[in-house]
Amino acid sequence: MNIDGQSGQNRREVVIVDYGMGNLGSVANMVKYVGGTAHISNDVNIVANAAFLILPGVGNFAYGMDCLQDLGLIESLNAARNSGSHVLGICLGMQLMTQWCEEGMRDGLGWFDLKTLRFPRELSTGERISVPHMGWNQVDAKSDASQFKSVPVPSRFYFVHSYFVDGADADECQATTVYGDTRFASAIGKGNVIGVQFHPEKSHKFGIAFLRDFIRR
Protein backbone atom coordinates (compact mmCIF):
# COMPACT_ATOMS: atom_id res chain seq x y z
CA MET A 1 0.00 0.00 0.00
CA ASN A 2 1.33 3.43 -0.94
CA ILE A 3 0.33 6.69 0.70
CA ASP A 4 1.66 9.19 -1.76
CA GLY A 5 0.93 12.67 -0.48
CA GLN A 6 2.06 15.56 -2.67
CA SER A 7 4.44 14.92 -5.51
CA GLY A 8 7.96 16.29 -5.45
CA GLN A 9 11.50 15.08 -5.72
CA ASN A 10 12.34 16.23 -2.20
CA ARG A 11 9.82 13.97 -0.48
CA ARG A 12 11.63 11.10 1.23
CA GLU A 13 10.18 7.62 0.86
CA VAL A 14 9.94 5.82 4.18
CA VAL A 15 9.31 2.08 4.27
CA ILE A 16 7.13 1.01 7.22
CA VAL A 17 7.62 -2.65 8.08
CA ASP A 18 4.39 -4.65 8.12
CA TYR A 19 4.81 -7.74 10.29
CA GLY A 20 1.30 -7.68 11.75
CA MET A 21 2.13 -5.86 14.98
CA GLY A 22 1.78 -2.12 14.42
CA ASN A 23 -0.64 0.76 13.96
CA LEU A 24 0.60 1.20 10.42
CA GLY A 25 -2.00 3.64 9.17
CA SER A 26 -1.33 6.21 11.87
CA VAL A 27 2.43 6.02 11.32
CA ALA A 28 2.01 6.33 7.56
CA ASN A 29 -0.30 9.32 7.90
CA MET A 30 2.18 11.10 10.16
CA VAL A 31 5.05 10.41 7.74
CA LYS A 32 2.94 11.98 5.00
CA TYR A 33 2.07 14.94 7.23
CA VAL A 34 5.72 15.79 7.96
CA GLY A 35 6.69 15.74 4.30
CA GLY A 36 7.51 12.15 3.37
CA THR A 37 5.86 9.36 1.44
CA ALA A 38 5.05 6.08 3.14
CA HIS A 39 5.34 2.61 1.69
CA ILE A 40 3.95 -0.14 3.92
CA SER A 41 5.61 -3.44 3.06
CA ASN A 42 6.73 -6.85 4.24
CA ASP A 43 8.63 -7.52 1.02
CA VAL A 44 12.10 -8.69 2.07
CA ASN A 45 13.85 -6.90 -0.80
CA ILE A 46 12.05 -3.59 -0.28
CA VAL A 47 12.86 -3.66 3.45
CA ALA A 48 16.50 -4.62 2.88
CA ASN A 49 17.06 -1.79 0.41
CA ALA A 50 15.11 1.01 2.09
CA ALA A 51 16.95 4.26 2.73
CA PHE A 52 14.49 5.16 5.54
CA LEU A 53 12.83 2.43 7.54
CA ILE A 54 10.34 2.45 10.42
CA LEU A 55 9.80 -0.67 12.54
CA PRO A 56 6.59 0.00 14.48
CA GLY A 57 4.95 -2.36 16.90
CA VAL A 58 2.42 -2.90 19.67
CA GLY A 59 2.02 -6.18 21.53
CA ASN A 60 3.92 -9.28 22.59
CA PHE A 61 7.72 -9.34 22.16
CA ALA A 62 8.07 -13.08 21.52
CA TYR A 63 5.21 -13.09 19.01
CA GLY A 64 6.72 -10.07 17.26
CA MET A 65 10.05 -11.86 16.85
CA ASP A 66 8.23 -14.95 15.56
CA CYS A 67 6.41 -12.83 12.96
CA LEU A 68 9.66 -11.23 11.78
CA GLN A 69 11.28 -14.66 11.54
CA ASP A 70 8.36 -16.27 9.71
CA LEU A 71 8.31 -13.47 7.13
CA GLY A 72 12.07 -13.61 6.59
CA LEU A 73 12.39 -10.02 7.75
CA ILE A 74 15.16 -10.46 10.34
CA GLU A 75 17.76 -10.86 7.61
CA SER A 76 16.29 -7.91 5.69
CA LEU A 77 16.35 -5.66 8.75
CA ASN A 78 19.95 -6.60 9.47
CA ALA A 79 20.88 -5.92 5.85
CA ALA A 80 19.22 -2.49 5.94
CA ARG A 81 20.92 -1.58 9.18
CA ASN A 82 24.34 -2.77 8.00
CA SER A 83 24.06 -0.88 4.70
CA GLY A 84 23.40 2.44 6.47
CA SER A 85 19.62 2.70 6.22
CA HIS A 86 18.15 5.17 8.71
CA VAL A 87 16.04 2.94 10.97
CA LEU A 88 13.49 4.07 13.55
CA GLY A 89 11.94 1.58 15.97
CA ILE A 90 8.71 2.64 17.70
CA CYS A 91 7.45 1.09 20.97
CA LEU A 92 7.70 -2.70 20.47
CA GLY A 93 9.91 -1.94 17.48
CA MET A 94 12.43 -0.34 19.81
CA GLN A 95 12.25 -3.24 22.27
CA LEU A 96 12.86 -5.77 19.49
CA MET A 97 16.21 -4.06 18.88
CA THR A 98 17.46 -5.12 22.33
CA GLN A 99 19.27 -8.33 23.28
CA TRP A 100 16.50 -10.00 25.28
CA CYS A 101 13.05 -9.50 26.76
CA GLU A 102 11.53 -10.78 29.98
CA GLU A 103 8.27 -11.30 28.07
CA GLY A 104 8.59 -14.84 26.78
CA MET A 105 12.28 -14.94 27.81
CA ARG A 106 13.08 -14.35 24.14
CA ASP A 107 16.14 -12.99 22.35
CA GLY A 108 15.68 -9.90 20.19
CA LEU A 109 17.56 -8.51 17.21
CA GLY A 110 20.53 -7.69 19.46
CA TRP A 111 21.29 -4.29 17.92
CA PHE A 112 21.66 -2.78 21.40
CA ASP A 113 23.28 -4.53 24.35
CA LEU A 114 20.26 -3.80 26.55
CA LYS A 115 17.38 -5.78 28.07
CA THR A 116 13.63 -5.25 28.04
CA LEU A 117 11.96 -5.79 31.42
CA ARG A 118 8.44 -5.60 32.87
CA PHE A 119 7.43 -2.64 34.99
CA PRO A 120 7.04 -3.53 38.68
CA ARG A 121 3.45 -3.31 39.86
CA GLU A 122 4.41 -1.79 43.20
CA LEU A 123 6.44 1.23 44.27
CA SER A 124 9.17 0.93 46.89
CA THR A 125 6.54 2.10 49.41
CA GLY A 126 4.33 -0.89 48.58
CA GLU A 127 1.78 1.26 46.78
CA ARG A 128 0.34 -0.34 43.65
CA ILE A 129 0.78 1.40 40.31
CA SER A 130 -1.03 0.89 37.04
CA VAL A 131 0.63 -1.24 34.40
CA PRO A 132 0.69 -0.60 31.46
CA HIS A 133 2.22 2.84 31.58
CA MET A 134 -0.32 4.69 29.46
CA GLY A 135 -0.65 8.36 28.60
CA TRP A 136 1.50 11.47 28.31
CA ASN A 137 4.84 11.67 30.09
CA GLN A 138 7.95 13.82 29.99
CA VAL A 139 10.94 12.81 27.89
CA ASP A 140 14.29 14.21 29.02
CA ALA A 141 16.69 14.17 26.08
CA LYS A 142 20.46 14.39 26.44
CA SER A 143 21.96 17.67 25.32
CA ASP A 144 23.76 15.98 22.42
CA ALA A 145 20.76 13.94 21.22
CA SER A 146 20.50 15.35 17.71
CA GLN A 147 17.24 13.54 16.95
CA PHE A 148 15.51 15.82 19.49
CA LYS A 149 17.02 19.08 18.25
CA SER A 150 13.70 20.48 16.96
CA VAL A 151 11.41 19.01 19.64
CA PRO A 152 9.88 21.63 21.96
CA VAL A 153 11.15 21.61 25.55
CA PRO A 154 9.88 20.37 27.93
CA SER A 155 9.07 17.40 25.73
CA ARG A 156 5.97 15.30 26.33
CA PHE A 157 5.13 12.19 24.36
CA TYR A 158 2.41 9.54 24.44
CA PHE A 159 3.24 6.09 25.84
CA VAL A 160 1.46 2.70 25.97
CA HIS A 161 3.65 -0.14 27.27
CA SER A 162 4.05 -2.72 30.04
CA TYR A 163 7.74 -3.39 29.38
CA PHE A 164 10.64 -0.94 29.31
CA VAL A 165 14.23 -0.87 28.04
CA ASP A 166 16.56 -1.03 31.02
CA GLY A 167 19.22 1.34 29.73
CA ALA A 168 18.80 4.77 31.31
CA ASP A 169 22.52 4.96 32.12
CA ALA A 170 23.80 3.28 28.94
CA ASP A 171 25.92 5.12 26.40
CA GLU A 172 23.28 4.43 23.75
CA CYS A 173 20.54 6.10 25.81
CA GLN A 174 19.41 9.34 24.16
CA ALA A 175 16.50 10.21 26.45
CA THR A 176 14.93 9.00 29.69
CA THR A 177 11.48 8.95 31.26
CA VAL A 178 10.32 8.13 34.79
CA TYR A 179 7.27 6.03 35.63
CA GLY A 180 6.72 5.11 39.25
CA ASP A 181 10.13 4.27 40.69
CA THR A 182 11.53 3.30 37.29
CA ARG A 183 13.74 5.55 35.19
CA PHE A 184 14.01 3.95 31.77
CA ALA A 185 15.45 4.64 28.34
CA SER A 186 12.67 6.24 26.32
CA ALA A 187 15.00 6.74 23.35
CA ILE A 188 18.16 4.91 22.28
CA GLY A 189 20.45 5.51 19.37
CA LYS A 190 23.59 4.21 17.73
CA GLY A 191 24.85 5.24 14.32
CA ASN A 192 21.98 5.14 11.85
CA VAL A 193 19.53 3.40 14.25
CA ILE A 194 17.08 5.08 16.64
CA GLY A 195 14.55 3.47 18.95
CA VAL A 196 11.81 5.27 20.88
CA GLN A 197 9.44 3.84 23.46
CA PHE A 198 6.83 6.54 22.91
CA HIS A 199 4.50 6.90 19.94
CA PRO A 200 5.50 9.95 17.87
CA GLU A 201 2.49 9.39 15.61
CA LYS A 202 0.21 10.05 18.63
CA SER A 203 2.23 12.87 20.19
CA HIS A 204 1.01 15.94 18.33
CA LYS A 205 3.56 18.77 17.96
CA PHE A 206 6.30 16.80 19.73
CA GLY A 207 5.89 13.78 17.48
CA ILE A 208 5.63 15.97 14.39
CA ALA A 209 8.94 17.66 15.19
CA PHE A 210 10.62 14.33 15.97
CA LEU A 211 9.49 12.55 12.80
CA ARG A 212 10.21 15.56 10.61
CA ASP A 213 13.79 15.53 11.83
CA PHE A 214 14.01 11.77 11.22
CA ILE A 215 13.01 11.96 7.55
CA ARG A 216 15.41 14.89 7.01
CA ARG A 217 18.46 13.00 8.30
Give catalytic residues, as residue numbers: 91, 199, 201
- What are the φ/ψ torsions at residue 64 (nearest 5 degrees)? -60, -45
Which of 188, 148, 153, 149 is closest to 172 using CA atoms? 188
Strands 182-190, 173-179: pairing is antiparallel
Contacts of residue 58, Cβ cutoff 8 Å, sequence gap at least 6? 21, 22, 23, 91, 92, 160
Report the alpha-carbon distance of residue 98 to residue 110 in Å, rounded.
5
